[in-house]
Chain A
Amino acid sequence: MITNRNAGNSLARALLLTGLGALALGLGGCSGDNETVAQPEPPTGEFPPQPGTGANVPVTTAKTIVASIQRVTVPDDGKPVVEVYLKDDQNYSLTGLPAGNIRFVLARLEPAVNGKSSTWHALTRRVDPFPGTPAPVPAEAVTGTGPASQATAETATSGVWTEKGNGVYTYKFLKSLTGDAAVPFDGSMPHRVGLEIRIGSPTVPANNAVYTFSPATNLPLESSGREIVDNDTCNACHDNLVFHGGARFDLQYCAMCHESYSFDAQTGNSIDLKVMIHKIHSGVNLPSVQAGGLYGIFGNSNSWNDFSEVVYTQDRRNCTTCHEESDTDTPQATNWRLVVNAETCTSCHDDVDFTTGENHGGVAATADSCTACHGPTSGVLSVQNAHVIPEQVAAAKFAYEVLSVTNSAPGQFPTVTIRVVDPTNGNAPYDIKAAGGPFQNSSASLAVDVAYSTRPDFTNTGSGSATASSGTPAQPIRIDFKANGVAVPSIPGAFAATATVAIPASATGSGEALIEGRPAVDVNGDGTLERIAVAAVGKTFAITDATPVSRREVVDIDKCNDCHENLTLHGNSRTGNTELCSTCHNPNATDIGRRVAGTACESVTGTLDDQTIDLKFMIHAIHAGAVAGYKVCGYNSTGYDFSHVEYPGKLENCEGCHLPDTYYPPNSATAVATTIDAGADRSTPLGDVAITAGSAACSACHTSDTAKQHMQLNGGSFTAVKAADSSTPAAPIETCGNCHGAGKPVDVKIEHGVGEFRYNE
């Protein structure tokens, strides 16, 4: 049985099969009555069905278009005839799509030869003029030498676009498969027709569809043999990624033009996906960029797209972040480690010269000889092994455990018992005190942060992290296990230590103790110790509660790691646990402790006034980039300016980071106002100036005066003053939830369009 995942959905697959049925009937038709031939009625009804099983509606009224290519036939003139079905997500059949709103690409897959990758080869092509108009700027980016060939799409006004009715259309290409001396017809190659429906005029929803077939058999192909990366992989970070006026978003369509025969004339750069995507994501880390060069592409109307400042938020060696071999939709996801050639490798290693051997160990090489050293069976030099990240391997050998927290009532000095084990060795415990061990060197650390309270939020008031005029306010009680851990004889491998600061008498509810720290080992034999990022773990404990109550869960570390792979900060000592972040990055904490005159902190941020480091403001503000212009000071009074952050997703997709429905406006029972000025006495919240909780979360992105005015008019305050218990008794009550709560007239979830992000899990 033939299936065709190219059609993009199960219905299309069903339609394809019924189409084949019709094909079979057609063969029988030769011997039958040819009278009906004069009536080219479209396929309708049950066999084959309409594109939608519902009624016809004008395409201009559709909220979505689900396009599918049901069949491609190649008549004698070699100009393929494409049968297109249009429906919407309600299964209405869509009528009236004008030719000007749809474009087609015709391509074939050239086989892999001489060590090269197989590649799409678009037959619909154009010449990208050089220098073109308007003149490309900046001049230093113009490294091209002449016009370049590019794949292009044929607008359906070029060929013959025919609406058959009931959502069925046909398109006969202007471009012929035959008669092109430069690309002689070869029916044995997989061919593909792709389409894009453009928003255009009239305005309709965009869509892409592809259909892969063999001209030799006139039958669709299950796979082209070149399906390497899946759309959901891109969209894990990029949230509904679209390009070229909103019309192009299906990687299987992108690949038809972004093939190895297409170049940007202005730069001379390849726009082949495997080259361009690797280079874009390498960004600042590209060797050529590190050497002072630019990397970018001149796009439509010679607009300059500079990728030289792209910061990829994880280690580029995580090839499998995009090349997901477990995804059955991408059977060629293994190509990253199986197909090795100069084009692919230099897309990241762009300082390698295979002719001279420069940056290749001095070894000159030819394009077809790469697998000799880097092939899948080539040992340490295989692509797979060469991209192994030793720290990741080492990290797998460590796992933290918090075994118990005792003496945690108000006024008591809590004792915490922990253990570090090796999951790769039957969870054998480490002796964290062993001299020369992974935790007993100057690069290593191991500590437990005792934070309180989980409700409404950690503020750690009374922990002594700051005096009136020094230190960082509101930090948890820190127990240093590297120095003070004492083996617990009764539990193999366990170590205990007791805080030197008591849980304050005023503390209530529950707290949490979390391990932070990093073992340091020499993972690569270079004689220096690498800091290994090991995921933090914690344990809640009761202070006045009968049983411990956890802090609210609003984000999912897996969502962080969609883009960050393995989120770790502070020199790899705080890893993979947002709850750990929240113990320090709490509503009462600011960076005042890092605000030292004359340091980079002052020069980068331009002020010695403190900045909140509260997670609910800081994370929004960092990812909002230029909108928020968040600047903050960190370890050793280093200044950080996050206003250059370009968030790769869509900020309005709350569930890009948040758990479902956890992003509704907080109130004073569920959150604490965000301190923006730690006041005259850092050791207490009393007198701190704060933004009320809902306004703090929202105003990080919604920075306009109108928005702030709106918040203030509805109970928000940007000048609230805290009492000793972190409340803001004189501030008004935020009433955000009255309108922005779940099911309310301006529901945050609906207003942000969270439901439109189809790649959210």
Chain B
Amino acid sequence: MAGTLDLLRVKAVIRRQFFVQLRAPQRWFDVLIWPMVDVVIWGSIGLFVDQQGGAGRAGAPYMLSGILLMHVMYQANVSMSCGFLDETWSRNIVNLMVSPLRETELLAGLMLVSLTRLVAGLGAVALAAWLLFSFNVTSAGWGLVPVIAVLMLVGWTIALLVMALVLRFGNGAEILCWGLLFVIVALSGAFYPVDAMPGLLQPLGRLLPSTHAFEAARRLLDGEPMPWNLIAKGAAAVAVAVPAATYVLWRTLHLFRARGYITRYS
């Protein structure tokens, strides 16, 4: 995975993804439509709970901030994973593996593309929440920036693991692109505090960097000062998760070449 980055090759990867995004209508669903659908569903649930007087703390804002921040992970993961899956679906992975493209260059290109999609997807959620529920995400302040950074890194970590699984087990593993994400979302307490989860799952939830990020966001919404302790916990967990996932991918790539799995695509 080591090696210097050739910017022309990174640019080529970005350009390729740009054309895919431009010409694949289903990709716009991921970036624009699903975020809005989620806002309507979760915002309405939150509003309904508020109307029933069941929410001791703000129901709709919690749901909307949860869905907004979940989409940070979603866009970061799905964009990067699908960028890689595109190459396996079209069997272009053979061409890439015998080209000068380094793994680091492919990843750098996919990360930059995913960053762009993340901004677009997040914008769509924020706009929909404001228009439909008068929820202004900026009310949480700049404190959301480190929260978003941690969640974006979690999304990329999942993407690295999905790539490793697809390399190891073939395209049958692509379901994990979405499946793994939703398991993490459920365990992270995107819409509820970890204390609300079954006791058995709480320790697992507390290990995840995203759990601390979601909790930090709720505190910010409640008007509390920046919860640096939670951000630090999230950052520390992410500092372990990203290198660990990178190592798993690197080892799997080694196995992919050693066992000749490329012949699945040739």
Answer yes or no: do A and B interact: no
